Amino acid sequence: MPILLGVAILVAIVVRTWVVQTYYIPSGSMENTLQVNDRVLVNKLVYDFSEPDRGEIIVFTAPESWRSVMEEDEFIKRVIATGGDHVVCCDDEGRISVNGVALDEESYLYTNPAGVQDQPSRDEFDLIVPDGRLWVMGDHRSASGDSRERYIRSGGDVMSSTIPVDAVIGKAFVLFWPFGDFTWFSIPATYDDVPEPS
């Protein structure tokens, strides 16, 4: 019996460290997709075999300059653009575009109780994401410390407003708590039309 218990504990540690981990949502930066105190499962193995893709929800170790509290170092955001992508805001309809294609983000941007939806961005930007880095944003754009916010605060510093791929811990793939809100995460269809950078 002690051997079985020891093996079970070891397997649990291995799975949590390298395969799948539970994360709780501490802030409203990803509303309405994720609410405060929701629980998600994060695949920590997937990016050993692939790169983060546009539209995916990821957990990453945030640069120190992004943190308001040093101990709160793990952020969850949506990947908007990857290395080499030209990301711009905004077009005539106020949309963010990636490699010349405007994103339709209505399916996931935050909507308040009165039915008013966040703008894709309150600020303009026009940049090329460096290779090996990601441009990430929260779905609650008016309440998210993300690439857009860092870009504005840094005066347009592309490196400090993007995160290195190496900082990504894993991909959030399911909302499992509360059970009544159970949801599998998929890449929104709008990203299907975005071409690779030329």
Positions annotated as catalytic residues are 29, 77
Which of 173, 168, 171 is closest to 186 using CA atoms?
173
Q: Which residues contact 23 (CB under 8 A, 6 or more apart)?
A: 39, 40, 41, 42, 59, 74, 76, 172
Token pair of 176 as six digits: 């499992």
Q: Which residues contact 179 (CB under 8 A, 6 or more apart)?
A: none
Distance CA 60, CA 64 (A): 12
Do 94 and 49 meet the contact criterion of CB atoms below 8 Å apart?
A: no
Distance CA 137, CA 123 (A): 13
Distance CA 72, CA 118 (A): 25
- Alpha helices, H only, the chain: 2-14, 147-153
Distance CA 83, CA 128 (A): 8
